[in-house]
Amino acid sequence: MASKPFATGHCLCGAVSFTIHAEPIGTGQCHCKDCQRASGTGHMSIARFRKDDVAIGGQAASYASTADSGNINTRYFCPKCGSRLFGENSGVPGVINIAVGCVNDNDWFVPGRVVYAKDRPRWDVTSTDVPNFDRMPT
């Protein structure tokens, strides 16, 4: 892993940072009410990576909640500045979902799908040119 990383990122205050060593294995945007509350806006833009490909610096705080599926969704945030950084889902072990807004250069991001489209607020626009799912597809 000495080569140039795929991407780096950090929270607003810089206390928590991450380095990503490989390309995402999936991308998406989520309009579920939990993501709306956690982000304070209409959706989260997320890129999924293999956990082994991501190195995290600093200590994030976390909050776990139960998703519709019954899986546990753990969202990590900076305890100092509150930035949402990444998340894990108990149904998808070994995978980490990075909040794309915290990635330094994120021009590569193209959402592959939109989930919980049923909860999309009128005022928050995401693409309908990619697969849209009313819930989380299994």
Residues in contact with Zn ion by CB under 5 A are 11, 13, 15, 30, 32, 35, 78, 80-81
| Cα–Cα separations (whole angstroms), residue 19 to 28, 35, 65, 92 | 20, 23, 26, 21
Nearer Cβ to Zn ion, position 22 or 58? Answer: 58
Query: Nearer Cβ to Zn ion, position 4 or 122?
Result: 122
**What six digits make up the tokens of 33?**
């009410």
Note the Cα 27 to chain centre separation in Å.
Answer: 9
Q: How far is the CB of 16 from Zn ion (least distance, A)?
A: 6
Q: Which residue has the tokens 């607003």?
A: 12
**Measured from the CB atom, is 22 or 135 closer to Zn ion?**
135
